Amino acid sequence: MIEIEGTKIGTGDRPYIIAEVGINARNDLTLAKRFIEVAADAGADAVKFQTHIADAEMVESEMRSIDVGEVYDTVADCEWSLDEHRELQSYADMNDVTFLSTPFSTDAVDLLDKIDVPAIKIGSGEMNNRELLERAASTGKPLLVSTGMNTLDEIKATCEFLDDVASEYALFYCVSAYPTTAADFDFKTIETLEEIADVSVGFSDHSTGVEAAKVAIGNGAALIEKHFTIDRRLPGPDQEVSIEPDDLANLSEFATLYNETSTEKEELDDEEIEIKQWAQHSIVATEPIKQGEKLTKENTTTKRPGTGLSAEQYFELLGSYATTAIPQDAVVTSTDIGTK
């Protein structure tokens, strides 16, 4: 179990919903604030951005040499300054939603540490980056670690490292494909990850819609990270796998419903007690029964309401004697019978 800004996350707690804005707002501060407002209104627990410092996380010449220079260009176009991070965090606080971000370099971790984020998300690509993990762990913040594109052996090795350096962490089951299809998921992996690390496990979802996230919750996911946009027509590489406000609200409501209905019932509620009184059956005389006469299958049956001796006792009470005369169709009560 971990805790983020006073919210407990783990078995028995409501699944924690993270609206992953990522780079969907590009570097437009006004648009990013609108994302925060809408995500908060839709019931998200946290709004997560990405903290990019292009030259700290990439060697530009090497990226261009392998024909992915556009990735460098996109990242460079999505940088937020320290002051902009602070402004977004403050705006999230105003809207009663937690501000989170994913760093892609140790410099980015330093920036997030300066604004005192309550937790640090580690992307799948950084899961085996020991330098970044150690720096993030040194902040003392809970780490939220995605496991996509890593084998179980690699995940185990990272967890062993985290056990040594991190105060607390959670894992995310993740398939690093965009968009992910239903056939790509193996949700029993959530249980496997729980066994590997004995920590809370969430689901980082790159599929369209919210169906996969709901299935993940049903399979024990304690957190859901879902790409989010206010309009899929906006530019950006992640818009295709992002859900819009109505779907985010649907997912948030489902998380609440799942939590509320996953408890163990200890006693009947008032309405059930009222219904039970008329819906269950009592033992009833099918003909007049004289005082001292035995109760038999021939002179008794069971009928509603359940205001007399319960039908559950029917066979137990056959052979008992009537202590008073019992009229036909009368509900038999405990004062009407004696021992066999």
Domains and CATH numbers, the chain: 2-260 (3.20.20.70), 270-338 (3.90.1210.10)
Q: Which residue spans within the chain are E strands per DSSP?
A: 2-4, 7-9, 16-22, 46-51, 98-103, 120-122, 143-146, 169-174, 201-205, 223-227, 282-285, 300-303, 321-322, 337-338
Q: What is the pLDDT of residues 33-80, one digit of tens each?
A: 999 999 999 999 999 999 999 999 999 999 999 999 999 999 999 999
CB 8 within 8 A of CB 170: no
pLDDT category at 141 given cuts 50, 70, 90 is very high
Task: Indicate whether 134 pLDDT > 80.
Answer: yes
Q: DSSP letter string over 156-223?
A: HHHHHHHHHH-S-EEEEEE---SSBPGGG--TTHHHHHHHHH-S-EEEEE-BSSSHHHHHHHHTT-SE
Q: Enter the DSSP assignment of 45.
A: S
pLDDT at residue 340 above 70? no
Q: What is the pLDDT of residue 269?
A: 79
pLDDT of the residue at 129: 96
Tokens at 75, concatenated: 């990242």
How would you classify the pairing of strands 2-4 and 7-9? Answer: antiparallel
pLDDT digits (tens, 9 = 90+) for 195-204: 999 999 999 9
Asked if 38 and 247 touch (Cβ cutoff 8 Å), the reply is no
In this predicted structure, the answer to whether residue 16 has a pLDDT above a threshold of 80 is: yes
Model confidence at 247: pLDDT above 70 = yes
